Amino acid sequence: MQDGKVRRRDVFNLWAIGQDLKSHVSVLALVGRLPETETREFVSKDLSMVLLENLGEKKKSQIIKELRNSILRES
């Protein structure tokens, strides 16, 4: 990720590290948006991963609410 763009392999590497560490939650926080729809779907189906996108456009309170809802799986 030398150019600042998150690629599929970056997401899978984060997922693999979380699995190796037996982590309950991995958070992928992005200033922009994840460019690949398929990768976003992968993350949304894995209960151990939380995807926070477009953080550059959100207020702190919005980010905290989104993080809380994602971890608790609320909408």
pTM: 0.75
Q: Is residue 1 in a domain?
A: no
Domains: count for the chain: 1
Per the structure, the complete domain to which residue 67 belongs is given by 8-72
Per-residue confidence at 75, pLDDT binned at 50, 70, 90?
low
Cα–Cα distance for residue pair 63/68, rounded to 1 Å: 9
Residue 58 region by backbone torsions, left for phi larger than 0, else alpha for psi between -120 and 50, else beta:
beta
Q: Is residue 2 in a domain?
A: no
Instruction: For 25-62, write each residue's pLDDT tens digit.
Output: 888 999 988 888 899 898 888 888 889 999 999 999 99
Q: Is residue 31 in a domain?
A: yes
Q: Is residue 63 in a domain?
A: yes
